Amino acid sequence: MHLERNNMLAKDLIKKEKVDLQKLASETRAKLEKSKMEALSGKGVNLEKIRTLRKDYARIRTVINQKGK
């Protein structure tokens, strides 16, 4: 089920404009940094959330790079 969500996300990302993707990438990166800081400070952070955010960010950057060509 987790993989289906990722496939749908990639399909949705391809349909978006490059400007929207860049905004989404910066928001996702900020969430990722915040989650990492919380994990380092000892707060209870779900590591799966960090992994998912990292993969989502990479997926968004990949689509941005593909649109740039």
Q: CATH number, domain at 20?
A: 1.10.287
| Lookup: tokens for 22 | 């860049």
Q: Judge contact between 47 and 65, C-beta under 8 A.
A: no
Mean pLDDT for each consecutive 10-residue tract of the chain (69 residues)? 56 93 96 92 84 94 90
**What integer pLDDT is reported at residue 11 of this predicted model?**
87
d(CA 37, CA 69): 34
What is the extent of the structural domain holding 9? 2-68
Q: How many domains does the chain have?
A: 1
**What integer pLDDT is reported at residue 53 of this predicted model?**
93
pTM over 0.75: yes
- Buried-state track 9-29, b at ≥16 Cβ within 10 A, e below 16: eeeebeebeeeebeebbeebb
**What integer pLDDT is reported at residue 47 of this predicted model?**
87
